[in-house]
Structure 1
Amino acid sequence: MSEYPQLNLLIGGEAIANGRDMIDVIDPATGEAFAALPKATSDDLDAALDHAKAGFASWRATGADKREAILRKAASLIRERAQNIGASITREQGKPVKEAVGETIYCAMLLEFYAGECKRNYGKTLVRPDGQRVEVRHEPVGPVAGFAAWNFPALNVMRKIGGPLAAGCSVIVKPSEETPAGGLAMVQAMLDAGVPVEACQAVFGKPSDISEHLLASPIIRKMTFTGSTAVGKHLAKLAAENLQRTTLELGGHGPVLVFNDADIDAALDTMAGNKFRNAGQVCVSPTRFLVEEDVFEKFRDGFVERAEKVKVGSGFDKDTDMGPMASARGPDGIQSKIADAKEHGAKLLTGGERIGNQGFFHQPTVLSEVPTNAEIMNEEPFGPVAIINPMPSYNAMVEEANRLPYGLAAYAWTQDSKRRMSLASEIEAGMLAINGGTVSAADAPFGGVKWSGYGLEDGAEGVSACMVSKTVHESA
């Protein structure tokens, strides 16, 4: 295990830790505090805003070639530091080191793509008679406030800073106070690579205080957030006061449609691993398995068999498949939802219990035949629980997949090409994986519909979301 880094604010390039109230950081494997994080004062936030204003002016004036080179250097630094960053993420969040290092490498891949977008900011010239010209320009929106969730400490922060910086914006990011080191490492790599110290800053504190202070400032021109739907709605209201543009990546409740012509073994091998990745604490996690009746028993039994083979333990154990949940809220919430499902008649097939009395470990759990009025069928469990229900027909499966107000990620398994085309049209989700488990790629947009938010991250869309269009009409 590498040494956990010193935690601090990063404001105008200054690492600030002294003379501030502190927040405990908890090790999810033990439940004990092991580090402390400084809280930004109102003066700190005002200073960060002033720096962001100045940083925007200088960074937007930096040529595209230079911005690209700096971001590529930052990506290289992240790759070099991946093992240490991954170990820090495991300490503060709990996921296995192999997952944490993979998350870190993905940050570098995403940043490399964003770097290329610095030079792919194409405007256009409209057709006009001689002596006239109409140009459509894409320009950076301005200083951005980013608020990141705890489940992917590095990646959520990279999604908040990579796109804005590629667009030419400055950014103030608030990583989660529960998992600060991964996000700080992303910001530090940017600064070490040559991003101006005013253009990329990190602050911490009581989340509501930070968001209200930053979004009340006219300096901030865009807000981007990853987290719960309830908090996203609140932040959208705050941003509306100054008409700040917003990107919201919110909760999901991923349906998985398994048809009777599917490759069941492939579906099981892929989706069981996806379900218990990061202890189910993934916004695009597959959760409601809607299985055609003909293959329900085979799929159900195969899933239970795989769930019972998942090795739960410390993220630093090389044999661990699933670490602890990230905080005490996790097991408490899962226990409540499992109890409610059982009261409504659901069958508990495996798991269902906490593991030990130290830390926040929970058994991989499978429920079946869960009625739609159970809480877990309507609220994202965000934990290691799979729901497997038999379904009578295609129409019933699509209706259930679309029943909830969420629409982030969805999955389907079928060999029927006509059915795949129909699903692509009919499933209400921002991302759909067919015969696979991947819904995220550096060059592909990431985001949801309905209560899962709006706006996009990743891909070219993640940069264009930080741009505004200006039309210039010119005559000779």
Structure 2
Amino acid sequence: MVAQSLFARTIPHGRQGCNRRSLLVKAVAAPPKPSKANNKLGERALGFVSKVQPKLLIDGKFVDAAGGETFTSVDPRNGNALLEIAMAKPKDVDRAVDAARKAFDEGPWPRMSGRERAGILFKLADLLEENAEELALLETLDNGKTYSQSSTVDIPETIYHFRYFAGFADKIEGATIPVGSAGVTGKGFTAYTLREPIGVVGQILPWNFPALMAAWKLAPALAVGCTVVLKVSQHTPMTGLRIAELALEAGLPPGVLNVLTGKGSDIGDAICNHPGIDKVAFTGSTKIGKIIGGTATGNLKPVTLELGGNSPVIVTDTADLEAAALGAHEALFFNAGQACECGARVFVDERVYDEFCARSIELAKGRKTGDPFDPDVKHGPMISEQQMDKVLELIESGKKQGAKLVAGGERLGEEGYFLQPTVFVDVQDDMDIARDEIFGPVQIIFKYKTLEEGLRRANDTNYGLASAVWTKDIETMQLASRTLKAGTVWVNTHHVLDAAVPFGGYKESGLGREHGKEVLEHYTQTKAVYIPLPKNNPWQIM
């Protein structure tokens, strides 16, 4: 199964600060230099950059930004420029929305049969598969995640999501409803409902899983017949643009998908406020999500938000400690800790705390950090110097507030945005590193006396995206899964996600759900149709 293989693969058996040193801490030794083979893989990735259309996709054509401005996409391995890309502004939002609006109101996409839409989406999935190596190389180059991850997790899961929701395109159903009263007309009626596409959707993507998040957003929206204005992250624009180009090749009509590149501060607000957009979907930080949610709902637009997390991992005294330590390690350090559902806070029973900490320290110190094209590397660079410095600031605050730093905590080298895998122990609940979403390679370990205490402290957060419990006891599994206030609870695993299973947050971790049948409700709306029956019809309830 896709979900099982995803986690199994994660467990081993403007120019932004180009080449300038972080001012926060002194860097330690640089990560290992890439081998000749890895250099070849990196060079192959750079060769694919020329295939990326560095423009905006509007109404089926790649065009320059209205103002002619561009920004520089940066390689997080070294801070070097990768590509100059069109910088969208509010005028470009207007152009994209006009194209999407026309495609929805007048075009064939929402009017064609579900089978026809499915055929185009299946064709897109096939094209993604044919170009999977290129997409994985670009994803690693753009984001810094390891090629071993992008080639075995991110891109295969992207393809799977398009295929999964393509299968739903001809299965959007309404219902026939008995009408029990003739009403004021004195006539009998039959009634049925339609599930219709909601219209033009504005979708705003994060930078941590660029291709996969594009699939999460696009696949269900396109399957039901919506048209889309997609804003990709300025940090990671390349795979989104290539997916869009392949969508046109698959036969997506002009205007159905429009892609904007640029700063969220420039065009995010314009998307949320635009009267031509019927719904907004956003994945990103809780801080920005609150702004987007307030703006969109202020204009009575439906909004779905997949936001931040500070997800707890509960390790009980009955857990298999070797598996739990490795599982908690990957729960945090997967994708260099830049995942909203990562296991940021680990609560460990005091009876196994010392052994668990020892294992966790050993794993962190042994995690190879370096060039993401090296197959032995588990840990590439952070996305940007800004994000790296934010994490380093939180590490410094942890040390100042009394947490015990037992592994890592430093920048690696002066080139690129590499951080050592970091572990803090003896952490208190009121410390900044415990309260804030770090979004980096920093594992925080707490001690608890009783399970009830551990669960209570795990829930003491504004977030509620995901959680996990490690135990061999079935009663503990059941108690924890009901007590933990999170949209997902994993038992003896982590990061297991599937297109068929709803994913989303409690509390400040979001509104609505991705995946499964539930996400389709966010991109459709219900219409009720009443039809009068003839007076001489003896069957007055149909």
Give matches, 1:286-325, under 5 Å: 286-325=343-382
148, 153, 165: which one aligns with 1:98: 148
The offset of 1:387, in angstroms, is: 0.6
The one-letter code of the counterpart of 1:120 is: K
1:48 aligns with 2:99: no
**Contact map agreement 2:168 2:223 (CA 8 A) in 1:** yes
1:471 counterpart residue number = 528
The offset of 1:45, in angstroms, is: 2.1
3-state SS of paired residue (2:418): coil
The offset of 1:121, in angstroms, is: 1.2
**Contact map agreement 1:177 1:205 (CA 8 A) in 2:** yes
1:74 aligns with 2:124: yes
The offset of 1:16, in angstroms, is: 1.6
Q: Let me know the Cα RMSD of the aligned residues.
A: 1.5
3-state SS of paired residue (1:36): strand
Alpha-carbon distance in 1 for matches of 2:248, 2:521: 23
1:123 counterpart residue number = 174
**Contact map agreement 1:149 1:156 (CA 8 A) in 2:** yes
Give the TM-score normalised by the residue count of structure 1.
0.97
2:61 counterpart residue number = 14
1:358-385 deviation line (CA, Å, top 9, x unaligned): 0000000110011112111000110001
**Contact map agreement 1:158 1:183 (CA 8 A) in 2:** no
1:203 aligns with 2:260: yes
1:456 counterpart residue number = 513
1:83 counterpart residue number = 133
Q: From the CA coordinates, give the structure whose radius of gyration is larger.
A: 2
The one-letter code of the counterpart of 1:468 is: Q
245, 258, 279: which one aligns with 1:222: 279
The offset of 1:189, in angstroms, is: 2.3
The one-letter code of the counterpart of 1:84 is: E
The offset of 1:419, in angstroms, is: 1.8
Q: Which range moves more in the overlay, 448-457 or 28-37?
A: 28-37
1:38 counterpart residue number = 86
**Contact map agreement 1:113 1:459 (CA 8 A) in 2:** no
Alpha-carbon distance in 2 for matches of 1:140, 1:51: 17
Alpha-carbon distance in 1 for matches of 2:457, 2:161: 34
The offset of 1:131, in angstroms, is: 4.5
The offset of 1:120, in angstroms, is: 2.1
**Contact map agreement 1:259 1:292 (CA 8 A) in 2:** yes
The offset of 1:20, in angstroms, is: 1.5
88, 107, 114: which one aligns with 2:158: 107
1:429 counterpart residue number = 486
3-state SS of paired residue (2:129): helix
**Contact map agreement 1:432 1:439 (CA 8 A) in 2:** no
Identity over the aligned pairs, expressed in percent? 35
**Contact map agreement 1:344 1:371 (CA 8 A) in 2:** no
1:407 aligns with 2:464: yes
Gaps of 5+ in 2: 1-43, 181-186, 534-542
1:135 aligns with 2:192: yes
Give matches, 1:128-207, under 5 Å: 128=179, 131-207=188-264
The offset of 1:356, in angstroms, is: 0.4
1:29 aligns with 2:77: yes
**Contact map agreement 2:406 2:423 (CA 8 A) in 1:** yes
1:276 counterpart residue number = 333
3-state SS of paired residue (2:344): strand
Alpha-carbon distance in 2 for matches of 1:446, 1:188: 28
Q: Which range moves more in the overlay, 453-462 or 60-69?
A: 453-462
**Contact map agreement 2:53 2:241 (CA 8 A) in 1:** no
Q: Which range moves more in the overlay, 336-345 or 319-328?
A: 336-345
The offset of 1:457, in angstroms, is: 1.1
**Contact map agreement 1:8 1:37 (CA 8 A) in 2:** yes
3-state SS of paired residue (1:349): strand
Give the TM-score normalised by the residue count of structure 2.
0.85
The offset of 1:327, in angstroms, is: 0.3
The offset of 1:100, in angstroms, is: 1.5
**Contact map agreement 1:257 1:412 (CA 8 A) in 2:** yes
1:199-225 deviation line (CA, Å, top 9, x unaligned): 001012231221222222221010000
1:344 aligns with 2:344: no
Q: Structure 1 segments of 4 or more deviating over 3 A?
A: 128-131
3-state SS of paired residue (1:442): coil
1:372 counterpart residue number = 429
